[in-house]
């Protein structure tokens, strides 16, 4: 009993010391059971931006079809798209800016859909986590902590902290454990329904209470307002190789990363490349808009959307070129869409393998991976 009391007091003192190292400009209160003696980072790299659970997650939400009376989305707004177990779903960023995280399941797979507006980081993970102590299904919340302006999640079972962009536990029982990234695409709702006409989208019913209290979405105007961008987004020292708010696609493959700035994708709209031993292709559409530019999405600026695939299918390594809204392979002249699905021609009905990739603002990704290779630029 004495040992247990001594351990508890020591643990609380250690936690108090930890939080004294984390900038907390608004003096938010904190109540954590996290084992902060186990961590993989410097606590001074964090910021307390809000109290724990100040942002409520969207857990096991309802979905509707395009013909539902509640459907009221702009065709070119971006959405995180997942297709698994015969189910296709879209999570519009216009909703995820409010909740930032959804604990959900699809096709029998337990998933977590995440979006950090500050970093424009959209990633999907498996909520079943494997560690030396075994496999466990976790549910996640928003900690209120930030690292390099990217959100820190926590699991409700152990209150371990997880960094979203890295997909890794950074403090607590799961410190050093990686989340498994799920194949997902960030594309417009128009492209989603072009590929999945019977697909389901998050029900906007969850916005009802929000719209009664608020005139604007969170982070409204931040992307095009220089003063607000500096206040909310930009670090004191940003990597000079790219504009801080440049949209980028990252591909993690064969042990290294490469990022593709959208400005390098906008003109060709398709990049045939090789990363390590893998032949890859990046598809690009121009019409997708930003959800952090204007409240009325039809007035928001177009930023585009990009997806990445293995261009080897069976015995063929394809090369592609853009033609209208679709992509044509040079080997069989078949027609493919931005989801990597062949719509017409010899390869009709076939699907390119989605590569592990995601979308971010340049400043955020370069803060975590300063040595990353940037397509179109000389090595650092």
* Domain span(s) for CATH 2.102.10 in the chain: 220-374
Whole-number pLDDT of residue 2: 42
**pLDDT (tens digit per residue) in 175-196:** 999 999 999 999 999 999 999 9
Q: Note whether 270 and 321 are within 8 A (CB).
A: yes
Rounded (to 5) percent helix, strand, coil in the chain: 20, 35, 45
Opening angle at CA 83, ends 81 and 88, nearest 5 = 80
Q: Note whether 77 and 71 are within 8 A (CB).
A: no
Q: Note whether 124 and 164 are within 8 A (CB).
A: no
Torsion over CA: 272, 275, 279, 283 (sign): negative
Cα distances (Å, whole numbers) of residue 332 to 329, 335, 347, 353 = 6, 9, 8, 18
**pLDDT (tens digit per residue) in 75-98:** 999 999 999 999 999 999 999 998
Whole-number pLDDT of residue 217: 57
Residues 254-266 have a mean pLDDT of 89
- Mapping DSSP to helix (H, G, I), strand (E, B) and coil, where does residue 99 land? helix
Question: Residue 92's closest CA among 17, 200, 6?
Answer: 200
Q: Is the pLDDT at 1 greater than 60, yes or no?
A: no
- Cα 286 from chain centroid (whole Å): 19
Q: Is the pLDDT at 286 greater than 80, yes or no?
A: yes
User: Does the domain made of 220-374 have the CATH classification 2.102.10?
Assistant: yes
Whole-number pLDDT of residue 223: 62
Q: Which residues contact 70 (CB under 8 A, 6 or more apart)?
A: 64, 203, 204, 205
Q: Is the pLDDT at 222 greater than 70, yes or no?
A: no
Burial of 133: CB neighbours in 10 Å, binned 0-12, 13-18, 19+? exposed
- Mean pLDDT computed over every residue of the chain: 87
Q: Note whether 155 and 136 are within 8 A (CB).
A: no
């Amino acid at each position: 009993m004495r040992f247990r009391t001594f351990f508890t007091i020591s643990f609380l003192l250690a936690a108090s010391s930890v939080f004294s190292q984390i900038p907390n400009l608004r003096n938010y209160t904190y109540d954590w059971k996290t084992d902060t003696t186990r961590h993989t980072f410097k606590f001074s790299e964090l910021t307390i931006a809000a109290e724990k659970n100040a942002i409520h997650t969207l857990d096991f939400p309802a979905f509707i079809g395009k013909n539902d009376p509640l459907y009221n989305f702009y065709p070119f707004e971006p959405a995180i798209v997942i297709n698994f177990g015969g189910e296709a779903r879209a999570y519009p960023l216009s909703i995820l800016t409010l909740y930032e995280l959804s604990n959900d399941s699809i096709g029998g797979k337990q998933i977590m859909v995440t979006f950090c507006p500050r970093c424009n980081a959209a990633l999907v993970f498996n909520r079943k986590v494997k560690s030396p102590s075994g496999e466990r299904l976790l549910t996640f919340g928003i900690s209120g902590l930030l690292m390099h302006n990217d959100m820190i999640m926590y699991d409700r079972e152990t209150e371990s902290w997880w960094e979203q962009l890295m997909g890794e536990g950074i403090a607590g029982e799961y410190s050093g454990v990686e989340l498994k990234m799920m194949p997902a695409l960030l594309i417009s709702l128009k492209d989603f329904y072009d590929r999945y006409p019977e697909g389901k989208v998050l029900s906007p019913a969850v916005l009802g209470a929000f719209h009664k209290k608020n005139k604007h979405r969170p982070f409204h105007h931040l992307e095009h307002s220089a003063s607000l961008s500096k206040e909310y987004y930009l670090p004191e020292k940003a990597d000079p190789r790219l504009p801080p708010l440049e949209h980028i696609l990252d591909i993690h493959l064969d042990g290294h990363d490469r990022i593709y700035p959208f400005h390098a994708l906008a003109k060709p709209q398709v990049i045939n490349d090789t990363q390590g031993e893998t032949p890859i292709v990046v598809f690009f559409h121009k019409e997708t808009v930003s959800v952090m530019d204007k409240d009325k999405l039809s007035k928001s600026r177009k930023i585009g959307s990009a997806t990445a695939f293995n261009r080897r299918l069976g015995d063929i390594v394809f090369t592609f070129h853009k033609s209208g809204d679709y992509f044509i392979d040079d080997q069989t002249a078949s027609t493919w869409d931005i989801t990597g699905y062949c719509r017409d021609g010899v390869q009709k009905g076939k699907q390119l393998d989605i590569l592990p990739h995601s979308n971010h603002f340049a400043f955020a990704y370069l803060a975590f991976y300063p040595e990353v290779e940037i397509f179109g630029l000389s090595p650092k």
